[in-house]
Amino acid sequence: MANLKEIRIRIKSVTSTQQITKAMKMVAASRLRRAQDSILQMRPYAKKLYFILENITTWLDADTQSIYSVDKDPKKVLLVVVTSDRGLCGAFNSNAIKLALEQIKEQYTEQKNDNRLWIMPIGLKSEEYFKKRKYQVVEDYAGLFSDLSFEQAKIAAEYIMEAFKTDRYDRIELVYNEFKNVATQILRAEQFLPIPKKDEDDNDDQQPVDYIFEPSLKYILEDLIPQTLKIQFYKALLESNASEHGARMTAMEKATENAGDLLQDLKLKYNQSRQSAITNEILEIVSGAEALKGG
């Protein structure tokens, strides 16, 4: 039977860990509420803007086509992999990295082998993983989550858009976790640039939407499209941010429950050990008394 002192030390250690996981769960729950409010308010606006963007770019002719919708042979590829800055959030980070690796294996193996694949990590966990494995990393924007705002996200988006315009990259993809609810995150790998055209197999009406361009189509192309791209990029970061807090809250809740189960087992083992020690002491006293009586 285990030593009573060792069990007491383990009980004290697990109790301390349980208090920490409870506190982390409460902090994650508080941050999740704010992050969830932000993404739920952003989604309808971003979705409608992207619907308009898709329709405009799909039906533009060669003369009026936006530079951001020009389809290129993907010789040079940038993957934007969004994770968190910290761990203790279950499989949140590893799942995003795993999806990025699958994209590379299935679509961009040639680019990787020829050093024509770059990774833009957003989140320190992503940066740490890909730098350690000697990928070509654009590391200027890894710390965006330390001060997440539209202004900060816009700077990163502008870098990506300018790099696409100047042919530094031919294709840019986003890999991130989309927030569904506290317990569920949906992994996404989406083409960011060039702007994907509407799928011809969609059930939507394939006739062009009859937009009235005011003040002009040129103004729409030069102003609305870049602004919409920045909003879509910011939306992906908000999705990942809410997903992170949901994943951390769920992980800490599970850790707290596991600590509670372990405490029950330890206390049972402690009581059994204590009862065994008392029984042994009584047996020794009785045996001693019998020996004295016999003497």
- Provide the annotated active-site residues: 89
Contacts (Cβ under 8 Å, ≥6 apart) of 62: none
Please, which residues have CB within 8 angstroms of residue 284's CB and are 6 or more apart in sequence?
Answer: none
Burial bucket for residue 79 (CB in 10 Å: 0-12, 13-18, 19+): buried
For CA atoms 41, 42, 47, 53, give the dihedral sign.
positive
Q: For residue 88, how many C-alpha atoms fall within 13 Å in the half-sphere facing its CB? A: 14
Q: How many Å apart are CA 57 and CA 53, to the nearest integer? A: 6
Rounded CA-CA distance 225/195 in Å is 10
Question: What tokens appear for 35 in the block?
Answer: 């992050």
